[in-house]
């Protein structure tokens, strides 16, 4: 496997690539993860870019959620010389250790496939990643307009696209990119009958606790297949702890149900779910920084139509995966860089979009399926738990024996910026 080496992030490096023959004016909807990375990629190529974000400036809190940022995401950032600031965020994770509700070890395995460049996975606060990417994009000249909620977009007779926002303003560009998340408006504008998000039958909650020492191995996340709930924890080098819980909930909660639960409600429910299980779950729940809240999780198994020639979707708008895969952020970043390469190397915008879909669809749908299987194993019933606890030690033993190479397809993915994209024939 070929890998790159870390490169310091500089504005000069960002503009080192030659400008394209035809400069595009690109409208990006959404300033989460995919949007700023795509902006950096396109600015590197000499295109004009504006990001339109429906939220307010500095308004992203994301409920304190933490994510695992895999090495393939860092690799994709290195392809555009944008990894420097991200490599300083969060904490390294090298190993996953699994136990059952009684605290019995089910085995351990590498967090990610080994890479020749030594890059490892990191756990970080989602909002920290958002802020770092936004700042890096701004330092390279990306412009963001806030409080711009997209309500409509149409293709003009000359092939350009017009975006209309809720405040009555509009913008015209050569290409509109929907990086607007799992509930993407752009996806439904491209295809009114587009696939809708699928509820994953587990909720998510968690956070970071300062000054909470855990006597666990360094760079190790312990994951517990509890009697009634999946729970995870790891110690951080600064003496704190990161934790999460995935309470099972078979039916999708109605709007407002989860937000109406108080901090005390969440703590009481989590204690009930973990009552009788071995380990630090109870102490972590008591010490967790409040107010506690939780949220439903969704994925997007397959989207029939990713683009219409003037509009295209990337990231969660095209292929949201369950958090269990640990790949949502990394897939979005891969998308952004590869779309830029396609626009660089293909003879037309339509050819670039067709080629982009051909390069991404199989990989991302495989990852979404992998995440769904992982999430469903967390919500196993009493009978399924018995078989799971018998089978998993063999699965983890095999994964540890091959050093994680069986996951090479997932985290070992590499993007070489200098490799030329081979265009597919446009329909």
Taking the model in full, what pTM does it have? 0.89
Cα 213 to Cα 188, 229, 240, 363, distances in angstroms: 47, 23, 6, 39
Q: Would you identify the CATH topology of the domain 20-411?
A: FAD/NAD(P)-binding domain (3.50.50)
Q: Are 303 and 291 in contact (CB under 8 A)?
A: no
Cis ω on the peptide bond leading into residue 291 (within 30° of 0)? yes
State how far the Cα of 23 lies from the Cα of 49, in Å rounded to an integer.
10
Angle subtended at Cα 12 by Cα 7 and Cα 15, rounded to the nearest 5 degrees:
100
**Among 198, 181, 143, 177, which residue's Cα sits nearest to residue 329?**
181
Q: Are 9 and 83 in contact (CB under 8 A)?
A: yes
Q: For position 73, what pLDDT does the model report?
A: 94
Torsions phi, psi of 148, nearest 5? -120, 90
Question: At how many degrees (to 10) do helices 71-79 and 328-345 cross?
Answer: 30
Q: For position 370, what pLDDT does the model report?
A: 85
Residue 128 has a CB neighbour count (10 Å cut-off) of 17
Q: For position 364, what pLDDT does the model report?
A: 95
Q: For position 117, what pLDDT does the model report?
A: 83
**Among 252, 218, 249, which residue's Cα sits nearest to residue 234?**
218
- Grouped pLDDT means (10 residues each) for the chain, 427 residues: 35 40 91 97 97 82 72 95 92 92 88 80 92 95 97 97 98 98 97 94 94 93 93 96 94 95 97 96 96 93 94 96 87 98 97 97 92 71 60 62 67 92 83
State how far the Cα of 393 lies from the Cα of 379, in Å rounded to an integer.
18
Q: For position 175, what pLDDT does the model report?
A: 98
State how far the Cα of 30 lies from the Cα of 309, in Å rounded to an integer.
19
Name the pairing type of β-strands 105-110 and 95-100: antiparallel
Q: For position 13, what pLDDT does the model report?
A: 37
Q: Are 263 and 292 in contact (CB under 8 A)?
A: yes
DSSP letters along 222-273, please?
EEEE-SS-EEEEEE-TTS-EEEEEE-B-SSPPPTTTTTTS-HHHHHHHHHHH
Which residue in the block uniquely carries the two structure tokens 């994925």?
A: 299
Handedness of CA 175, 57, 90, 285 (dihedral sign): negative
Domain boundaries, the chain: 20-411
The token duo for 345 is 């190397």
């Amino acid at each position: 496997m070929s890998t790159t080496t870390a490169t310091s992030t500089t504005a000069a490096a960002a503009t080192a690539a030659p400008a394209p023959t035809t400069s595009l004016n690109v409208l990006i909807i959404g300033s989460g993860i995919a949007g700023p990375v795509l902006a950096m990629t396109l600015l590197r190529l000499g295109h004009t870019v504006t990001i339109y974000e429906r939220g307010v400036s500095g308004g992203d809190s994301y409920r304190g959620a933490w994510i695992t940022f895999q090495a393939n995401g860092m690799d994709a950032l290195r392809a555009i010389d944008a990894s420097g600031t991200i490599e300083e965020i969060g904490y390294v994770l090298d190993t996953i250790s699994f136990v059952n509700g009684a605290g019995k070890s089910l085995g351990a395995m590498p967090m990610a496939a080994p890479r020749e460049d030594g890059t490892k996975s990191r756990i970080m606060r989602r909002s920290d990643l958002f802020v770092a990417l936004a700042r890096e994009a701004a330092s390279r000249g990306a412009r963001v307009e806030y409080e711009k909620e997209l309500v409509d977009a149409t293709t003009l007779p000359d092939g350009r696209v017009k975006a209309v926002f809720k405040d009555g303003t509009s913008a015209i560009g050569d290409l509109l990119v929907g990086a607007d998340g799992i509930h993407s408006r752009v996806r439904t504008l491209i295809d009114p009958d587009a696939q809708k998000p699928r509820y994953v039958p587990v909720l998510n909650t968690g956070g970071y606790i300062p000054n909470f020492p855990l006597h666990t191995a360094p760079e190790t996340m312990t994951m517990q297949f509890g009697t009634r709930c999946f729970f995870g924890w790891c110690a951080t080098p600064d003496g704190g702890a990161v934790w999460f819980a995935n309470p099972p909930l078979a039916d999708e909660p109605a709007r407002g149900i989860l937000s109406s639960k108080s901090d005390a409600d969440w703590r009481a429910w989590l204690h009930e779910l973990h009552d009788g299980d071995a380990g630090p779950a109870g102490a972590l729940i008591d010490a967790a920084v409040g107010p506690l809240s939780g949220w439903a999780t969704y994925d997007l198994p397959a989207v029939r139509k990713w683009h219409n020639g003037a509009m295209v979707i990337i990231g969660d708008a095209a292929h949201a995966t369950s958090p269990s895969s640990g790949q949502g952020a990394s897939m979005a970043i891969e998308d952004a860089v590869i779309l830029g390469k396609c626009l660089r190397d293909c003879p037309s915008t339509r050819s670039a979009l067709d080629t982009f879909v051909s390069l991404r669809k199989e990989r991302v749908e495989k990852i979404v399926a992998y995440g769904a299987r992982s999430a469903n194993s967390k919500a196993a019933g009493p009978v399924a738990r018995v078989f799971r606890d018998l089978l998993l030690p063999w699965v983890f033993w095999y994964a540890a024996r091959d050093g994680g190479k069986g996951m090479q397809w997932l985290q070992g993915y590499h993007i070489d910026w200098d490799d030329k994209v081979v265009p597919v024939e446009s329909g």
